[in-house]
Amino acid sequence: MVAIGASAAGLEALQAFWGNMPSETGKAFLIIRHVAPKGMSMPGDILLKHTRMKILDVQDGMRTESGHIHLNPPGNAVSANRSFCRLIGTSPEETL
């Protein structure tokens, strides 16, 4: 698994990264974005313009899949090991 962190303003950098990343890497990708619980999220359809990988929203306990991009939902951090993701809710103070 490859984990990538991005600030709320990181969309342009992620678009450039995926525009240059081959679709067949054999790796699962996890993008952890800083997005407030009620903030504007970065929809996967924006990234779909730059990759042919399938994009999934992380769900608690989900197994990561190679060749897929996994996005954390707004208001949640993610704890991950080699093949599973756990959602961690954040407090309002942590989202500022």
- The one-letter code for the residue type at 28 is A
Asked if residues 64 and 1 have their Cβ atoms less than 8 Å apart, the reply is: yes
Q: What is the pLDDT of residue 83?
A: 86
- DSSP annotation of 92 reads G
Q: Is 0.85 topped by the overall pTM?
A: no
pLDDT along the chain (96 residues), means of 10: 85 90 92 72 76 92 94 86 85 49
In degrees and rounded to multiples of 5, residue 85 shows phi and psi of: -120, 140
Q: What is the pLDDT of residue 28?
A: 94
57-78: buried (b, 16+ CB within 10 Å) or exposed (e) per residue?
ebeeebebeeeebbbbebbbeb
Residue bearing tokens 């190679």: 66
Rg over CA atoms, the chain: 13
Q: What is the pLDDT of residue 39?
A: 58
